[in-house]
Amino acid sequence: MEKTAAQQSLWKNRIFTKMFVSYSISSFGDWFDMTALMILFSYTWQANSFLVALVPISYALPSIFLGQLAGVYADRWRKLPVMIGTDLIRAVLTIALIWAGTPYLALPIMLLRATASIFNTPAQQALLRKTVAEEHLLKASTMIGMVMQISKVAGPLLGATLIALFSVKVCLVINVVSFFVSALILVSAGKVAEPGMESAQQMAAAKSSVLSSWKEGWSTLFSIRVLYMSFIFYLIGFFTLQMVDSQFGILLRTLAPDSASLLGYVIAMVGFGMFCVGGILSGMKNMKSFGWTLSVGCLLTGVAFGGFGLLEVGASAGLILGCSFLGGVGVGFNIIGFSFLRQRETPPETMGRITGITNSLTSAVVILGPMLGGVLIGALGVSAAFSITGYVMLGVGLIGVLCKRLIWNGGEQA
């Protein structure tokens, strides 16, 4: 890392600053045209329901099958060129999407673009681990986590607004520009020294087989108790959340049938809750307890989702938005807390592989969770499904609080 990184402000770390700005732009680009593509498939091309359902799946599928491979190569290659290359590839593929005339041509292009994205994230996390001082890791992880979550919320909303004002293709053009700008910012960083890349151990790793490197990543994960136990805990909570996360439209349609705009406000309040958590954590020098952070995150999310399940038709917008904010705070503690834990506890030389492993399993949950949630809602109704989800999250959170020492085995800070 830069020589004076430990003594100066995080924002005076030139490499991190450029990486953060670049990531912010490209992250919004990743989610910016989601709404545009849904409209393109649903209205412009009049695609059937199966093809429309493949749009979000095309975003997650490459990570499930190739995320761990991407993590292996992120550790073997220099990170900055990987990030620049993936930005340029995504820009070119987005240009191809503008000219795609059918969903059958667009879907393979979207899969290729999502594949390029999965190489970007492990490289970015690995470079962050190597160029940011230990005492700045919490703030850096928090800022990156905030951008990631806000882009997922604000990107599609902003895209929908621009589509209403202009057109679908304008949204895609703006996305192309965002990727090119992101790449230019990274190029301006110049050559970045990556501690460890020149070591004998790293050179040996580069010569080892991909399979051996992949196995080493899993071995590293399970050799660090606080890391793998926290990931299992996080994954259970995340899976439970995904069961009903995509069903807010149905819930609000039931609770407030005459307030179609309420969904936008709910999404905004969830994002605001996560933003507030990021603001709090970014002001801290370190996180004293991973167990408390993840457990409280599950408890707050459980209270929020349980509250949604108890609301009746005609419930006030204030109650709905209050539950939304509380849920956003809970999700923020979980996602940002685990992101920092992964950064701090993972050895720098395996950061890409650990990121690839955790991202691939998380992406699998993004697809499997809504499927189970849809079955649950079909059998019991949307309010009951939210209540059950809330109770499960509360249970997970309570287990974390009561069994904190057993789960984390004193591996975290006191």
Where along the chain do its domains lie? 1-206, 208-414
Strand (E) or helix (H) holding 162:
helix 137-165
Using CA atoms, how far apart are residues 8 and 29, in angstroms rounded to an integer?
31
pLDDT digits (tens, 9 = 90+) for 50-93: 888 788 888 889 999 999 999 999 988 889 999 999 999 999 99
Residue 349, both tokens: 């030389």
The upper half-sphere exposure of residue 206, i.e. CA atoms within 13 Å in the direction of its Cβ, equals: 11
pLDDT digits (tens, 9 = 90+) for 294-343: 999 999 999 999 999 999 888 888 899 999 999 999 998 998 889 888 99
Topology at the third CATH level for domain 1-206: Growth Hormone; Chain: A; (1.20.1250)
Residues contacting 279, CB < 8 A, separation 6+: none
Task: State residue 2's pLDDT score.
Answer: 46
pLDDT digits (tens, 9 = 90+) for 266-298: 877 888 888 888 888 877 767 777 788 899 999
Contact between 346 and 358 (Cβ < 8 Å): no
Task: State residue 261's pLDDT score.
Answer: 66
**CA end-to-end distance (rounded Å), the chain:** 28
- Which of 3-17, 99-113, 340-354 has the least mean pLDDT? 3-17
In 34-102, where does DSSP find H-type helix?
34-39, 49-76, 79-99
Residue 394, both tokens: 């509360």
Would 1-206 and 208-414 be classified into the same CATH topology?
yes
3-state secondary structure of 48: coil
- Is the pLDDT assigned to residue 215 strictly greater than 80? yes
pLDDT digits (tens, 9 = 90+) for 230-241: 999 999 988 988
Rounded (to 5) percent helix, strand, coil in the chain: 85, 0, 15
Topology at the third CATH level for domain 208-414: Growth Hormone; Chain: A; (1.20.1250)
Task: State residue 220's pLDDT score.
Answer: 93
Cβ count near 163 (within 10 Å): 19
Contact between 219 and 154 (Cβ < 8 Å): no
